[in-house]
Amino acid sequence: MSYSDLQQQPIAMFDMDGTLLDLAFDDFIWNHCLPERHAQVHQCTLEQSQQTLFQFYQQHKHTLSWYSSAYWTAKVGVDVLQLQYEHREKIRARVGCHQLLQQLHAQGYRCWLLTNADRAGLQLKLENVELSPYFELMISSEELGHAKEEVAFWQKLQQLHPFDPAQAVFIDDTVAVLKGAEDFGIRQLFSILQPSSSKAARAATELPYPVLDHLTELFDYLETNQQVTDAKTA
């Protein structure tokens, strides 16, 4: 396939945690393991640790620091990357993940993984779930210096890896991230009904983007779009 043919191929962009992978692992680490370890290290009660940590979480949500294991390790005095490695057997793909990626590949989509996880966190996940073979590009927002919530992330991404936003599909479980992508100009945006198997599904009516439960439901939307395009050109 020539370079210009490749440029014509649509791109499916994916978030990792909560989209392709079950967010239950991250919930378990941040809401359960870290407060316990923090209480041991600082010799305080679990309640005190929870209070301290959950306050930090609120302050740093949606910033690049939030996604940095080095930042958290320095901030709370617990090696959070080490903690994640200790429980790595709990890392799991969401239902339909591999089926979706295989089918997209078969249909000629180029797949990009775009994660706010830092490089170390990305590596940990890739060591435990086979995602790499499906992706021509895997980017940690740490590399670009901006979280995906910021339009600057998308501008930087486009500078480094030119793409047409009109030809891109983006799936992410975080509404603030989808909003950033929308502000940049990506129009085919999808969210996830139940990012974590350890928590209840969200109400689809409260999410401002089309929502996928089983990941392969994406094909219902892509096929509809294709028909619309065909009808226009017929």
Q: What would the two tokens of residue 60 be?
A: 């740093």
Instruction: List the interface residues with Mg ion, window 156-175 (CB under 5 A).
Output: 173
- Closest by alpha carbon to 115, among 123, 106, 105, 104? 123
User: How many Å apart are CA 178 and CA 184, to the nearest integer?
Assistant: 10
Neighbours of 33 (CB within 10 A): 17
Q: Which of 11, 12, 14, 15 binds Mg ion (CB under 5 A)?
A: 15
With binding defined as CB under 5 A, does residue 149 bind Mg ion?
no
- Amino acid identity at 107: Q
With binding defined as CB under 5 A, does residue 26 bind Mg ion?
no
- Distance of closest approach, residue 229 Cβ to Mg ion, in angstroms: 29
With binding defined as CB under 5 A, does residue 180 bind Mg ion?
no
Q: Which of 11, 13, 18, 68 binds Mg ion (CB under 5 A)?
A: 18
199 φ/ψ angles, rounded to the nearest 5 degrees = -125, 160
- Distance of closest approach, residue 157 Cβ to Mg ion, in angstroms: 16
Q: Which of 17, 22, 118, 149 binds Mg ion (CB under 5 A)?
A: 17
Do 116 and 141 form a contact (C-beta atoms < 8 A)? yes
- Distance of closest approach, residue 234 Cβ to Mg ion, in angstroms: 38
Interface with Mg ion (CB under 5 A): 15, 17-18, 173
